[in-house]
Chain A
């Protein structure tokens, strides 16, 4: 379950951790939009590398690397699918440009994963819930949302135990054809789902016996406050968005193949 570690909150102190979750969300969203704007390799690579300093500042390098490693499986699939579809549907492209376009799509996927991981690695679920609450979303929804996030690592751990228990009963997950592989997961998914449902019922009862929803207006212990660094980051995000819209509209971005051809 090492891949999920890359999306799990790390409780350490860093400047990135201290940023208001709302600001961080705007920043991540900007990255997301910019990544979807461009489909050339060079700007996407720039996006990818520009986030590395943030990861180092946030002290989550190890978890981040693990996530990248974990997502390499999907990245490979995306790459192969792109190569195949580009080969068949854009008949006149050269092989080099097919590879470049496929790599661009792969890097885009990694950038999206990367930006989400920065957000989740550095934002505690409680803070996230709090920020949702303070932008006016009803508490019931915020609670459901934070609880869902909080239980992801619990479920991941439980899935690992279930996998172990079934392997100890001779279940082999690897090997076999596609149908067999899918069928192999039934003994894992059923206990996982049954336990999740059972747990949610128990949680609901426990919550209600602690007077959940007794008062209309809940007070909170911590209040989120935007500070100067938050406004700075929002400004940076806005500038980034503006710059990329400008680049998208008015600058013709060369592909790597073109640059190499000119030089060679």
Chain B
């Protein structure tokens, strides 16, 4: 469980990135933190594994104050996948890349081999085991970065902008994967401004603007609120937008699922034919 209690954070250069954020993420939740660039999303999640410590207020991870433990200790519990895989890949082979963190955390030889095999398999990288990470494509590098974190099986998984640079297919696979992880009981926090992706995942949405939380609730309520979305400098999901424009024909405004929209439209067409 992550508890953020009235946290303020100011960067050394004087930028106030967080201005009084309070938030609670319980075990097994799936949360999307959204907002435009510079809203404070990444700054907030960097508090979850202690990379940043609050200037004021406090952050508790499983009741432990992040100010009193090292990043390494917290990371064992909170896996953080950075936005750009090129900021972390350095090993000679894909295999070594995945075992890096496991060695840091002091897993034994046998366990390391087991975990590496598992991670390679689950992210479909087994055939690249002996390849250099630098020879992989962008999407594969991103998967490798994810594998290298998942390998130590953290309880909480944080993904910073996981959809950037991914094509539609890869996004769909990522979505399946995240949902699967979540169903297996992992707490998943994604930081993104990809509203379509979030609309498809339907997690709890925490909307941020100017270092503050402006909305917190089910995706269906937050993402379909035109006023809220435009105030946060985002754009409504396409489906919501279409139905919103058909509102004067009696369509509801809080739909963001393709299949639901289809059913509504079919129902309406049938009704018109009668």
Please measure, in the bound complex, the distance between the C-alpha atom of A165 and the C-alpha atom of B49, giving whole angstroms. Answer: 11
A195 CB within 8 Å of chain B: yes
Please measure, in the bound complex, the distance between the C-alpha atom of A168 and the C-alpha atom of B85, giving whole angstroms. Answer: 13
The reply to whether B87 and A170 contact each other, CB–CB distance below 8 Å, is: no
Interface centre among B49, B79, B90, B104 (most CB of A within 10 A): B90
The reply to whether B87 and A169 contact each other, CB–CB distance below 8 Å, is: no
The reply to whether B88 and A166 contact each other, CB–CB distance below 8 Å, is: yes
The reply to whether B82 and A161 contact each other, CB–CB distance below 8 Å, is: yes
B3 to chain A, nearest CB (A): 20
A172 CB within 8 Å of chain B: yes
Interface size on B, residues (CB 8 A): 27
Q: A169-B101, A169-B148 are in contact. Are A191 and B80 (CB under 8 A)?
A: no
CB-CB contacts below 8 Å: B77-95 with A? 79-80, 82, 84, 86-90
B46: chain A residues within 8 A (beta carbon): 164
Please measure, in the bound complex, the distance between the C-alpha atom of A177 and the C-alpha atom of B230, giving whole angstroms. Answer: 54
A46 CB within 8 Å of chain B: no
A190 CB within 8 Å of chain B: yes
A248 to chain B, nearest CB (A): 41
A19 CB within 8 Å of chain B: no
A162 CB within 8 Å of chain B: yes
B51: chain A residues within 8 A (beta carbon): 164, 167-168
Interface centre among A5, A162, A165, A187 (most CB of B within 10 A): A165
The reply to whether B104 and A169 contact each other, CB–CB distance below 8 Å, is: yes
Q: A187-B100, A194-B134 are in contact. Are A168 and B87 (CB under 8 A)?
A: no
A171 CB within 8 Å of chain B: yes
Interface centre among A162, A164, A170, A171 (most CB of B within 10 A): A170
Q: A169-B101, A170-B105, A191-B89 are in contact. Are A2 and B82 (CB under 8 A)?
A: no
Please measure, in the bound complex, the distance between the C-alpha atom of A167 and the C-alpha atom of B70, giving whole angstroms. Answer: 9
The reply to whether A168 and B80 contact each other, CB–CB distance below 8 Å, is: yes
Q: A167-B71, A167-B72, A167-B75 are in contact. Are A172 and B104 (CB under 8 A)?
A: yes
Please measure, in the bound complex, the distance between the C-alpha atom of A164 and the C-alpha atom of B79, giving whole angstroms. Answer: 12
Q: A168-B75, A169-B149 are in contact. Are A198 and B100 (CB under 8 A)?
A: no
CB-CB contacts below 8 Å: A140-183 with B? 158, 161-162, 164-172
B76 CB within 8 Å of chain A: yes
The reply to whether B72 and A172 contact each other, CB–CB distance below 8 Å, is: yes
B13 CB within 8 Å of chain A: yes
A167: chain B residues within 8 A (beta carbon): 51, 71-72, 75
Across the interface, name the chain B residue whose C-beta is closest to A198. Answer: B86
A66 to chain B, nearest CB (A): 9
Please measure, in the bound complex, the distance between the C-alpha atom of A170 and the C-alpha atom of B87, giving whole angstroms. Answer: 15
Across the interface, name the chain A residue whose C-beta is closest to B76. Answer: A170
A138 to chain B, nearest CB (A): 33
Interface size on A, residues (CB 8 A): 21
B49: chain A residues within 8 A (beta carbon): 168
A2: chain B residues within 8 A (beta carbon): 12
A166: chain B residues within 8 A (beta carbon): 88
Interface centre among B75, B76, B82, B88 (most CB of A within 10 A): B88
The reply to whether B82 and A164 contact each other, CB–CB distance below 8 Å, is: yes
The reply to whether A162 and B75 contact each other, CB–CB distance below 8 Å, is: no
Please measure, in the bound complex, the distance between the C-alpha atom of A127 and the C-alpha atom of B101, giving whole angstroms. Answer: 45
Please measure, in the bound complex, the distance between the C-alpha atom of A195 and the C-alpha atom of B87, giving whole angstroms. Answer: 8
B43 to chain A, nearest CB (A): 12
A186 CB within 8 Å of chain B: yes
Across the interface, name the chain B residue whose C-beta is closest to A168. Answer: B80
Please measure, in the bound complex, the distance between the C-alpha atom of A225 and the C-alpha atom of B214, giving whole angstroms. Answer: 52
The reply to whether B90 and A187 contact each other, CB–CB distance below 8 Å, is: yes
Please measure, in the bound complex, the distance between the C-alpha atom of A207 and the C-alpha atom of B87, giving whole angstroms. Answer: 24
The reply to whether B90 and A191 contact each other, CB–CB distance below 8 Å, is: yes
Residues of chain A whose beta carbon lies under 8 Å from any beta carbon of chain B: 2, 5, 158, 161-162, 164-172, 186-187, 190-191, 194-195, 198
Those 8 A-B pairs whose CB atoms lie nearest each other, nearest first: A170-B104, A190-B90, A169-B101, A168-B80, A165-B88, A165-B82, A167-B71, A165-B87
A-B residue pairs in contact (CB < 8 Å), sample of 10: A2-B12, A162-B88, A165-B88, A168-B75, A169-B75, A169-B101, A172-B104, A187-B90, A187-B100, A191-B86
Extra 8 A-B pairs, beta carbons < 8 Å, given A165-B87, A168-B71 = A161-B82, A165-B82, A167-B72, A170-B75, A171-B72, A187-B88, A187-B100, A191-B86
